[in-house]
């Protein structure tokens, strides 16, 4: 005879009644696992692993402003937030790390607005990444401990230019069809501002990190999948960059005349309701 010794319902949704029924069976030799359950586990694809993330104000460089319960970050050139000194704060690079670490499997989405010539980086890194200086040890995607998706808005198209980077090595990604939504908002120069959404899925048991573009119809398009062996807990991170009209560089300068402000926010993958508050200034 074959006896059932374990039942793993992790990342499933048996419901309270189902858990009670299985528990009431009083099977002494049965190990029942119901970790990470909930209604969102009935969603198709990676969204079944949806998780809630918040940004850690103790890690944000002073050029980044957090709001909406630390789920939204905005970079406004020329303004430094009065954050207290903290050993985990990024000293020189415009980066911020989430408070929560990624366990087993996790999926989240980030939404951002961007105008011509700029973009954002969305990444996953180990917590041990350096916080001091501007070298590769503290820049997401420039070392073996971090991976990033680069989302750049060219001046000639509403479609983003995507690439990924790991351990300094870039890989260009062909632009998928219709990955953007025009917000009907203009910046001070009269240029239209678009809203974009991307998804990130970490599957530690499978050793994969996947980046997706998300369309208006909530369709996921796989952009790139890394295959790796995760050895530590990995928080998600955000990194900002800007390409200015005068100086096509990722470095910010107090003397730049036309610098952009970008807002990026995490969306709620549990309820799947999205709000689109934009912050975009030109100085």
In the chain, % of residues over pLDDT 90: 29
The whole-number average pLDDT for the span 89-96 is: 91
The larger pLDDT score, comparing residue 254 to residue 104, is at 104
**3-state secondary structure at position 65:** strand
Total count of domains within the chain: 2
Instruction: Check pLDDT > 70 for residue 217.
Output: yes
Contact status, residue 113 vs residue 278, Cβ threshold 8 Å: yes
The larger pLDDT score, comparing residue 32 to residue 282, is at 32
Instruction: Check pLDDT > 60 for residue 63.
Output: yes
What is the phi-psi region of residue 15: left when phi exceeds 0, alpha when psi lies from -120 to 50, beta otherwise?
A: left
Residue 120's φ and ψ, nearest 5 degrees, are: -135, 160
- Quick check: is 282 in a domain? no
Nearest to 197 by CA among 274, 82, 279: 274
Same domain, 13 and 103: no
Instruction: Check pLDDT > 60 for residue 215.
Output: yes
Instruction: Check pLDDT > 50 for residue 270.
Output: no
Instruction: Check pLDDT > 80 for residue 254.
Output: no
Same domain, 194 and 145: yes
- Residue 277: pLDDT band by 50, 70, 90 thresholds? very low
Ranking 84-93, 143-152, 263-272 by mean pLDDT, the lowest is 263-272
Average pLDDT along the chain:
73
- Quick check: is 34 in a domain? yes
- Quick check: is 274 in a domain? no
Same domain, 28 and 141: no
Same domain, 33 and 72: no
What pTM did the predictor assign?
A: 0.73
Ranking 67-76, 135-144, 156-165, 246-255 by mean pLDDT, the lowest is 246-255
Same domain, 17 and 57: no
Same domain, 134 and 204: yes
Same domain, 149 and 240: yes
- Residue 240: pLDDT band by 50, 70, 90 thresholds? low
- Quick check: is 278 in a domain? no
- Quick check: is 272 in a domain? no
- Quick check: is 229 in a domain? yes
Q: How far apart are CA 55 and CA 237, in angstroms?
A: 8
- Residue 275: pLDDT band by 50, 70, 90 thresholds? very low
Instruction: Check pLDDT > 60 for residue 22.
Output: no
Instruction: Check pLDDT > 70 for residue 40.
Output: no
Same domain, 83 and 196: yes
The whole-number average pLDDT for the span 214-219 is: 86
CATH number at residue 239: 2.60.120.920
From residue 62, how far is each of 76, 91, 92, 114, 241 by CA, in Å? 10, 8, 9, 21, 15
Instruction: Check pLDDT > 60 for residue 182.
Output: no
Same domain, 182 and 88: yes
Q: With b meaning 16 or more CB within 10 Å and e meaning fewer, what string describes 205-235?
A: eeeebbbbbbbeeeebeebbeeeeebeeebb
Same domain, 165 and 250: yes
Same domain, 201 and 252: yes
Instruction: Check pLDDT > 50 for residue 273.
Output: no
- Quick check: is 198 in a domain? yes
- Quick check: is 28 in a domain? yes
Give the per-residue pLDDT at 127: 85
Q: Which domain holds residue 234?
A: 43-266
Same domain, 83 and 201: yes
Give the per-residue pLDDT at 147: 94
Instruction: Check pLDDT > 90 for residue 211.
Output: yes
- Residue 31: pLDDT band by 50, 70, 90 thresholds? low
Give the per-residue pLDDT at 59: 93
Instruction: Check pLDDT > 90 for residue 85.
Output: yes
The whole-number average pLDDT for the span 43-71 is: 87
């Amino acid at each position: 005879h074959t006896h059932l010794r374990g039942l793993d319902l992790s990342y499933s949704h048996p419901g309270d009644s189902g858990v009670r029924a299985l528990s009431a069976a009083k099977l002494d030799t049965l190990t029942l696992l119901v970790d990470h359950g909930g209604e969102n586990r009935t969603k198709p694809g990676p969204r079944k692993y949806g998780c809630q993330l918040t940004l850690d104000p103790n890690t944000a460089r002073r050029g980044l402003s957090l709001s909406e319960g630390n789920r939204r970050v905005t970079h406004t050139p020329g303004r430094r937030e009065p954050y207290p000194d903290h050993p985990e704060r990024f000293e020189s690079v415009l980066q911020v790390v989430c408070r929560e670490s990624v366990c087993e499997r996790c999926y989240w989405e980030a939404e951002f607005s961007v105008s011509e010539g700029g973009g954002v980086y969305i990444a996953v890194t180990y917590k041990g990444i350096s916080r001091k200086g501007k070298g590769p040890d503290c820049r997401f995607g420039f070392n073996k401990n971090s991976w990033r998706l680069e989302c750049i808005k060219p001046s000639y198209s509403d479609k983003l230019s995507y690439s990924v980077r790991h351990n300094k090595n870039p890989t260009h990604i062909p632009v998928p069809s219709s990955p953007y939504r025009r917000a009907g908002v203009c910046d001070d120069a009269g240029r239209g501002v678009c809203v974009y959404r991307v998804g990130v899925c970490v599957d530690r048991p499978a050793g994969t990190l996947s980046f997706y573009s998300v369309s208006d119809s909530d369709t996921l398009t796989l952009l790139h999948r890394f295959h790796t062996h995760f050895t530590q807990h990995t928080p998600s991170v955000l990194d900002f960059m800007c390409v200015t009209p005068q100086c096509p560089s990722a470095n910010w300068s107090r003397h730049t005349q036309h610098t952009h402000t970008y807002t990026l926010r995490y969306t709620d993958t549990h309820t799947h309701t999205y709000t689109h508050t934009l912050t975009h200034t030109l100085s």
